[in-house]
Chain A
Amino acid sequence: MKRTSMVEYFHGETFIISSVLQIGDSREITSRSRVLAVQRQYELFFGSEGEGIFPTFTMPIPKLQANRNRISVQTLHQSPIISVRSIRVLAASTSAVVHIGSTSTVNAEARIKHIRQLAPNFSASSMKNTQTPTPIVKDEK
């Protein structure tokens, strides 16, 4: 048996990018997020680039396999409720889950890769200049 969650006041401001607000019990939660963040010195994007080539997104992440048969878990709920006066969540994003209620299995994974690309003539001395060098735009096709 699972306990009952009681929340008197809840306020969630923003829920974006596949994030979930779940009120009530659930059985299984599986959430995945993959982020490829490319920051360039100049506003430039070539379209579909770098998808599915980085090991960050493909390598298997080893899972901790606790042998539950060897451990006998006994849970006694002396009080059948979990009570919270108020919750304020400013934001949930990128496959995050805000869950009021009980669940059984949670399986979540986040894979993030950041890339920063600077212009070749962008040296420490040129950083002092407020004037940025003209962008080198290569032919897209």
Chain B
Amino acid sequence: MNYTVINRDVHVGDIHVIAVTSSAIFLIGDADVINIASAFDTPPESLIIGPFVPLIQRGEQ
């Protein structure tokens, strides 16, 4: 497959960003490869209604 990109004039005015977070990237420039992944977990099991016991510690599984 042949893929040609022509970058003409780029003039941007004002950028206003509230927040960049959790391994996100805000890039003014060129890049060859961008590989970003995110795992966000809030399943129903994450809502624990019960006595306040510590979460399982390492090696106690």
Contacts and interface: CB of A to CB of B under 8 A. Distances in A.
Interface of A: 2-3, 5, 7, 19, 25, 29, 31-33, 35, 38, 40-42, 44, 46-54, 56, 59, 61, 63-64, 70-79, 81-120, 122, 135-138
B52 A40 contact: yes
B10 A54 contact: no
Interface string B7-23: 11111111111111111
Contacts of B61: 53
Contacts of B8: 78-79
Interface residues of B, number: 56
A135 B42 CA distance: 25
Contacts of A136: 51-52
B56 A111 contact: no
Nearest to B57: A49
Nearest to B21: A93
A85 B14 contact: yes
Interface in B37-56: 37-42, 46-56
A59 B39 CA distance: 9
B14 to A, nearest CB: 5
